[in-house]
A and B are shown apart, each in its own frame.
Chain A
C-alpha cells in the first residue's frame, strides 16, 4: 500500500500529464477529421506544458515577483524559469495552431472537405497522384 502511494499518488502530476499526452496523441493518430487532429496536437502540447510547470512548483510558494516585502520577509516563491520557458513554448504552440488552421481552411476551399481520407481520394482524382 505504501509503495502504491509513493509511486502513484505522490506523483500525480506526472500521471495526469502522461494521460493527457496519450489522449492528445490518440486524437492525432486515430481521428480522420483534420480539426480533430489539430485539437489532439494542442492537447498533446498542453500536457507537456503542464508537466513542465508542475516541475517548477515549490510547496507553498507564491508568485515570483520581486518585491521589497518578499525579500524582507523571506517568502518562498515558485521557480520562475519554467514559467518563462513555457510562455515561449505556448507562443510557439499558438503559431503552430494558427498555421495548421490556415492550412485546413485552404484545404477546405480547395477540396470541399476536411476529412483526411476524402482528401487523399480527391487528390488521386486531381491528376497529381501519390506514387
Chain B
C-alpha cells in the first residue's frame, strides 16, 4: 500500500495552483497513481476498483465545474460581465481574490475531468473486454 500512498501525496502537491503545474498536469499525475496501482497489483479487472459509473460522473462533474464557473459570472451580474470573468462572482468581496478563487476552481475542475478521462482511457485500452466506447477529452485552456 505504501507506493499508493506515496503517489497520493505526490500528486496532491503537484496539483496545487500557483506553482509549475496546474489542472492538466495534476490530473495526469493523479490518474497515474490509479494506473500504477493496477499495474503493480496486476488487477485484470480494474473495473472493481474504478467503476464505469464513477468515471462518467467524475468527468462530467469536472467539466460542469469548469464551464459552470464561467456561466456563474454571467448569472451573478445579470449579463453585465463576460463569460469566465470570474472577478464578479461574489465569493469574497475583493475583485482580485474572486479572480484567484475562480481560477482555482477551474483548475480543480480540469484536474478532476482529466483524471477521470485518463483512467477511463487506460482501462478501455488495457483490459481484455473493452467495449469500444470512445470517450473524448476536451482541450482545456
Contact = CB atoms under 8 A, between A and B. Distances in A.
Interface in B122-141: 124-125, 130, 132, 134, 136-141
A41 to B, nearest CB: 17
B20 A102 contact: no
Contacts of A117: none
Interface residues of A, number: 16
A123 interface: no
Contacts of A94: 137
Interface of B is mostly: loop
Interface string B1-39: 000000000000000001110101000000000000000
B24 A91 contact: yes
A94 B20 CA distance: 20
Contacts of A88: 139-141
12 contacts: A65-B20, A87-B22, A91-B24, A91-B138, A91-B139, A94-B137, A95-B136, A95-B137, A98-B121, A98-B137, A102-B124, A109-B132
Interface of A: 63, 65, 84, 87-88, 91-92, 94-95, 98-99, 101-102, 105-106, 109
Interface of B: 18-20, 22, 24, 121, 124-125, 130, 132, 134, 136-141
